[in-house]
Amino acid sequence: MSSASVTEPAVPRPRTGARHRDLRRFLLQRLGTGVVLLIGITLVAFVVTHLVPGDPAAANLGQRAIGDPAAVAAFRHQYGLDRPLPVQYVVYLKNLLHGNLGISEQSHRPVLTDLAEYIPASIELALFAIVLSTVVGVGLGVIAAVFSNRWPDNVIRVVSLAGVSMPIFWVALVAFYLLFFKLGWLPGGGRLDPTQNPPTHLTGLFTVDAAVHGQWALFWSALRHLVLPGLVLAIYTVGVLTRFTRASMLEIMGNDYVRAARLKGLPERVVILRHVLRPALVSIITVAGVAFGNLLSGTVLVENIFSWPGIGQYAYHSAINLDLPAIMGVSLFVALVYIVVNLVVDLLYGVIDPRIRLS
Amino acid sequence: MGALLQVDGLSVALPTRSGYHKAVDDLSFAVDAGEVMGIAGESGSGKTMTALSLFGLLPNGARVTGSIRLDGTELLGLTSKQLRAIRGRQIAMVSQDPSTALHPILPIGTQLTEHMRYHLGVTKTEAMTRAAELLRTVRIPDPEQALRSYAGQFSGGMRQRIAIAVALAAEPRLLVADEPTTALDVTVQAGILRLLDRLCRERGMAVIVITHDLGVMSAVARRLYVMYAGRLAEAGPTSELIARPRHPYTRGLLDALPHPEAGGAPLVPIGGSPPSLGRVPAGCPFHPRCRYAQPSCATDRPEPRLIADTHLLACPPDPLRAAPAAEGGQDSPAADGGQDGRAAP
Amino acid sequence: MTVSARAPLDPLGTADAVTRRRRLRPVTPVPWRRPLALTGLAVIGAWVVVAIFAPLIAPDNPLAQKFTILAGPSAANWFGTDELGRDVFSRVLFGARITLPLAVILIVSAMIIGAVLGGIAGFFGGWVDNVIMRLADLVFAFPGIILALAIAAALGPQLRNAVIAVVFVSWPSYARLVRSLVLSARSAQYVVASRLLGSSGLRVLFVDIRPNAAGPVLVLAALDIGNAVLLLSGLSFLGLGAQPPTAEWGAMVAEGAQNFNDWWVGLFPGLAILTVVLAFNFIGDSLRDMLDPRTARAMRV
């Protein structure tokens, strides 16, 4: 070694075992934060739903409550409404740990059962929408960045801006009217045709279940039914992802190392995909993760119009009827999704960006 | 003359809000194989635009006129595809800031081999072997491990060495180093300069060093071109320019350098600041800041004139013709032996 | 080793730093070179005029049920009539009187609450910072609609409660932004310089930090106001916001969903929402391009 390297520190050597250990520690940390967040969510949900100025009993029993004090008392006792709030909360938490989310006041079934029935429909819809949005959104964003300030960029920018400006419930209505009612190109509601039975149950996602069991007619039907609500849901997210991808890529393209790649004489395609898009993916996945959460909330506005039996409709009816256990069940589910998505995103970070892995 | 790179009358005009303005104005120079040549000037002098024009990578909308010939082939007017074949393979550049010039998330091995494979067509294993060899050449310890590492794991000086290795990977004949030591600690600068010098000698490569730091120049460059506001101010052998500068601007640059023998006397700055694009004064661009300015300097545009063997001067009044050797300036190994008593041993 | 002169008594450039602070970037936007921003301003301007002068411009009383129900667009009713025989055009015009002022109130409230909480968190740090940020995280964890849904439902289906719900969902972004601005400003050269020159903490906060924080916060507000309108009308669509017979655009689209045969009932109110949100987004985007130093620099070349 020459004297030139004496003044400079040696290269740190990450041993391969250390990398796995780092990743594991990272995940555990995230998991821990997630659990804390979950508890926080239950607290928030609990507090919010008990903000009700009125009496949940009155709201749920309706007319009968007014005339029958015994029914009211029974109701209050059943749900522990006659005990102090903190105790109610502890009772609730204890039940949770046993997998008991309470009984829904609308369906009179365990909330867990309700959730199990409605969740897969929304998951299928959200997954369809997110895959569609990501492919289209990132693709358009890359095109916009590459053709920055020329006509393809300008067109894409206006289109994506329009996408995030549209009220999703209105788009649903317009799409329903045009593509189903007037043109008849796509089915207008439900997950399958009224005469069809669902495929053999595996995941609850009809497309997956049908494909796995080779029930192709059902597969195509389920897919066709997914298109309209999925497209509507995807519009906003495509807009968001396009704008974000474009901005991310433009920012990266201003960096020295991109110019350095061109100076090396590499073809433009390599420069864009390997040197610009890859680092941009880190922030793009974050946004996609957030977008997934937003898609779930979008279902509240869209499922109604397309008669989609999912969590969105369930959340809406629960909120309207002040079905406390159901509301808390939905909130918990949403928080859980948020935590899982964050974990997945964090994992992907580590794969794509070595800086994060090594810090 | 058979110079490797011959630039004649290069002008680069950039679009601004108030129209096109020249960032480089009628510049001519030449570099031979195996020679280290320096382009000196402050920010805004057009040095980086000159470098980028060699690669055809000027900002969108830039207008270039003149001639750039690499080994006889005219570079201006080539198609993108032709230019891409030249970038990295015939000419390579080492950019200013090592912390931003290397890609943060691609492994060093990839950054070293991607253009190597594209230009030289070697297999992946062969490329990696060559890459390790390159790292050894630039004195990076444990090259195999380094190939799998990332830019963030190295110090500034090492990153600059790696950047140099990247530039060398496709075996270019001309290396352009833009402010190679500016972002580095003083203790590390000497090592980088020695490296550049050695590479030039060992490989017969031509090197253009671009910097505002005349101290760096005097250490490596044999010939020096001093630019101001996009135009050539003075050009000639480094030792001569440093010992007896003839352009007031060159003199000013030297006077502003700290000199070990000056004994704590205050530095003498050049009053004012360099003109921004579009605000270049008429006549001689330096005249508002020049101690020796005459009325004709505000109207007549100075053209470079040959005043000695290879010494060009763009200053018609030539006020420093009979001046004694400059106050500042360090010794260069390329010094031609003392021309007057000031040259240190 | 640069040649540009530096006054020998100011080695750190402190004087420069303080002067830099005083040359504040103008916060008022300069939109005349940007067609998108101009269009946005024009559209919003038009809607503001409509909102103010609706009683004079609208051909009919928005609550008057005097026409044939569910009649298509005609000379008498440009946008047709709804299921109670009211003129849709008049209702759309009057809808501006609800959506526009509420959106502004909403955003200003969220901005103030968020900025105050974020400023406190950033400035004092410690457990105060932690508590506020955890709270913000919790709110962030819920996708907007669901939380707003829960709150609005809990408080009762009323327009006022819908506004409260959306404010509750929106403040964390401002808090986070202001907090990070305060944190980075605290260690910025011009603040350090100011304190070296003797300014007290509060003065630093208001005189030095606030003007430079105003820009990003306003950009966020401009970008956010469109979302606020979408959320608010979304809640009304679900029946948790404006109650009948109020002519609010979201509620009108809901009515359109009930009668989807009669396309005009839901189309026009939705178009109104779209134009307003689009216009706000045009303005917000242009503001951001102008005030974001990186993008601004790229455009000057």
Q: Burial letters for A37-73: b for 16+ Cβ neighbours within 10 Å, e otherwise?
A: bbebbbebbbebbeebeeebbbbbbeeebeeeeeebe
Helix (H) or strand (E) holding B7: strand B5-16
Residues in chain B within 8 Å Cβ distance of A9: 155
Q: CA torsion B316→B319→B321→B327, rounded to 10°?
A: -130
Strands annotated E in chain C: none
- Give the model confidence (pLDDT) of C181-201 as tens digits: 888 777 776 767 777 777 666
Per-residue burial over B173-209, b = 16 or more CB atoms within 10 Å of its CB, e = otherwise? bbbbbbbbbbbbeeebbebbbbbbbebbeebebbbbb
Distance (Å, whole) CA A276 – CA A258? 7
Q: Do B258 and C1 touch (CB under 8 A)?
A: yes
B-to-C residue pairs, Cβ atoms closer than 8 angstroms: 31
Q: Which two tokens stand for residue A14?
A: 């990450």
Pull the structure tokens for residue A178: 């045009």
Chain B hits for A153, Cβ within 8 Å: none
Q: Cα A53 vs. chain centroid, distance in angstroms?
A: 31
Query: Are A51 and C266 an interchain contact pair (Cβ–Cβ within 8 Å)?
Result: no
**CB of B228 closer than 8 Å to CB of B240:** no
Average pLDDT over residues A149-176: 91
Rounded Cα distance, B304 and A93, in Å: 86
Question: What is the structure's pLDDT at B163?
Answer: 92
The structure tokens listed for A47 are 């507090």
Q: CA A275 to CA A261: how far, in whole Å?
A: 8
The whole-number pLDDT of residue A48 equals 64
Single-letter amino acid code for the residue at A273? L
Residue A39 touches partner C, C-beta closer than 8 Å = no
Please give the average per-residue pLDDT across B87-93, as a whole number: 91
Interchain pair A1, B57: CB under 8 A:
no
Tell me if C91 sits within 8 A of C256, measured CB to CB: no
CA nearest neighbour of A6 among B147, B132, B141: B141
Which site among A1, A257, A353 would you substitute to test the B interface, given the most B Cβ atoms closer than 10 Å to its Cβ?
A257
Looking only at Cα atoms, what is the longest distance across chain C? 86
Alpha carbon distance B2, B30 (integer Å): 10
> Whole-angstrom Cα distance, residue B37 to residue B200?
11
pLDDT at A141: 95
Q: What is the pLDDT of residue C43?
A: 93
The tokens describing C273, both together, are: 């929402």
Q: What are residue C254's phi and psi, to 5 degrees?
A: -60, -40
A179 vs C: CB within 8 A: no
Neighbours of chain A (3+ CB pairs under 8 A): B, C
Summary mean pLDDT of chain A: 79
* Whether the predicted pLDDT of A23 surpasses 70: no
Q: Which residues of C touch A294 (CB under 8 A)?
A: 143-144
Q: How many CB atoms within 10 Å of residue C59?
A: 11
H/E stretch holding B201 reads helix B186-203
**In whole angstroms, what is the distance from residue C48 CA to residue C278 CA?**
15
The CA distances from residue A248 to A146, A157, A347, B79, in Å, are 12, 14, 20, 29
Contacts of A263 (CB under 8 A, 6+ apart): B55, B57, B87, B88, B92, B93, B95
Predicted local confidence at residue A18, as pLDDT: 53
Q: Which of A11-20, A278-287, C17-26 has the lowest average pLDDT?
A: C17-26
Of B100, B145, B194, the CB nearest to A13: B145
Could you tell me which chain C residue has the CA closest to the CA of A336?
A: C141
A2, A57, A61, A69, A70 from A66: Cα distances, Å: 93, 10, 9, 7, 10
Residues of chain A that touch chain B, judged by Cβ-Cβ distance less than 8 Å? 1-2, 4-5, 7-13, 255-257, 259-267, 270, 274-275, 278-279, 352-355, 358
Q: What is residue B290's predicted lDDT score, i.e. its pLDDT?
A: 85
Of C1, C2, C300, the CB nearest to B215: C1
Of B209-218, B255-264, C261-270, which gets the smallest average pLDDT?
B255-264
Question: Which residue in B84, B105, B150, B171 has the most chain A C-beta atoms within 10 A of its own C-beta, making it the best mutation to test that interface?
Answer: B105
**Gap from A129 CA to chain B (nearest CA, Å):** 30
With CA atoms as reference, the chain A residue closest to C143 would be A294
Q: Which residues lie below 8 Å from residue C231, measured CB to CB, with a gap of 6+?
A: C144, C145, C148, C166, C169
> Kindly report the CA angle at A166 between C267 and A154, in degrees rounded to 5?
120
Q: How crowded is residue B345: how many other Cβ atoms within 10 Å of its Cβ? A: 4
| pLDDT bucket at B343, cuts 50 / 70 / 90 | very low
Neighbours of chain B (3+ CB pairs under 8 A): A, C
Does residue B192 surpass a pLDDT of 80?
Answer: yes
The residue type of C188 is A
Top residue of B45, B267, B276 to mutate, by most chain C CBs within 10 Å, is: B267
B195 and A CB contact within 8 Å: yes
A233/chain C closest Cα distance in angstroms: 14
Strand partners, C100: none
Interface touch C149/A170, C-beta < 8 Å: no
pLDDT of residue A193: 82
Neighbours of chain C (3+ CB pairs under 8 A): A, B
Q: Which of A168, A173, A296 sits opposite C266 (nearest CB)?
A: A173
B31 touches B3 (CB < 8 A): yes
Q: What is the pTM of this model?
A: 0.78
| A51 touching C (Cβ < 8 Å) | yes
Rounded-to-integer distance, Cα B191 and Cα C273, Å? 65
For residues A195 and B124, the model is more confident at: B124
Q: What is the per-residue pLDDT across B296-340, written as a single tens digit (0 to 9) for each?
A: 888 888 888 888 888 888 888 888 887 766 544 444 443 333 333
Counting one residue from chain A and one from chain C, the pairs whose CB atoms sit within 8 A come to 131
Q: Which residues of C touch B179 (CB under 8 A)?
A: none
pLDDT category at A61 given cuts 50, 70, 90 is low
Determine if the peptide bond prior to B143 is cis (ω within 30°): no
Cross-chain Cβ contact A256/B154 below 8 Å: no
A262 vs B154: CB contact, 8 Å cut-off?
Answer: no
| Nearest-Cα residue of chain A relative to residue B158 | A8
The residues, ordered by sequence, that sit 6+ positions from C287 with a Cβ below 8 Å of its Cβ are C29, C37, C218, C219, C222, C223
The end-to-end CA distance of chain A, in Å, is: 28
β-pairing, B73-74 vs B63-70, is antiparallel
**Cβ contact A40–C266 (<8 Å):** no
Residue A265 scores a pLDDT above 80 = yes
Predicted pLDDT of residue C15: 44
Asked if A338 and C141 come within 8 Å (Cβ–Cβ), the reply is: yes
Tokens representing residue B41 in the block:
């000037």
Sheet with B63-70, strands from edge to edge, namely: B19-31, B5-16, B63-70, B73-74
Q: Which residue among B14, B266, B273 places its CB closest to the CB of C4?
A: B273
Interchain contact, C266 vs A44, CB within 8 Å: no
b/e burial code for range A232-264 (CB count within 10 A of at least 16 → b): bbbbbbbbbbbbbbbbbbbbbbebbbbbbbbbb
User: pLDDT tens, A75-104?
Assistant: 666 656 666 777 777 777 777 777 767 777
The mean per-residue pLDDT over the stretch C124-139 comes to 82
Distance CA C153, CA C238 (A): 10
What residues in B contact C301, CB-CB < 8 Å? 14-16, 59
B184 or A153: whose pLDDT is higher? Answer: A153
Q: For residues C229-255, give the mean pLDDT.
A: 89
| C268-287 mean pLDDT | 92
pLDDT (0 to 100) of residue C201: 61
Q: Which of B39-43, B49-53, C50-54 has the lowest mean pLDDT?
A: B39-43
Mean pLDDT to the nearest integer, A290-319 = 85
Note whether B15 contacts A: Cβ–Cβ < 8 A: no
Is residue C242 pLDDT above 90, yes or no? no
- Which amino acid is present at C139? V
How far is the CA of C104 from the CAs of A164, B316, C101, in angstroms? 19, 67, 5
DSSP A217-230: HHHHHHHHHHHHHH
**What is the pLDDT at residue B45?**
78
Residues of C in contact with A174 (CB under 8 A): 266-267, 270
pLDDT tens per residue, range A179-192: 888 888 888 788 88
Residue whose C-alpha is closest to residue B297's, from B309, B310, B282 = B282
In the DSSP assignment, the letter for residue C81 is B
A-facing residues of C in 230-249 (CB < 8 A) are: 230, 233-234, 237-240
The yes-or-no verdict on residue A9 having pLDDT over 50 is no
The torsion of the CA quartet B62, B63, B67, B68, rounded to 10 degrees, works out to 10
Amino acid present at C253: V
Tell whether C152 is within 8 A of chain A (Cβ).
yes
- Examine the pLDDT at A134 and tell me if it is beyond 90: yes
CB-CB neighbors (< 8 A) of A313 in chain C: none
Backbone φ, ψ for residue C103 (5° rounding): -60, -45
For residue B267, give how far its alpha carbon lies from the nearest alpha carbon of chain C (Å): 9
How far does C126 lie from chain B, in Å, by closest CA? 31
Contact C1 B253 (CB under 8 A): no
Determine the average pLDDT of the residues in B197-220: 86
Look up the ipTM and state it. 0.81
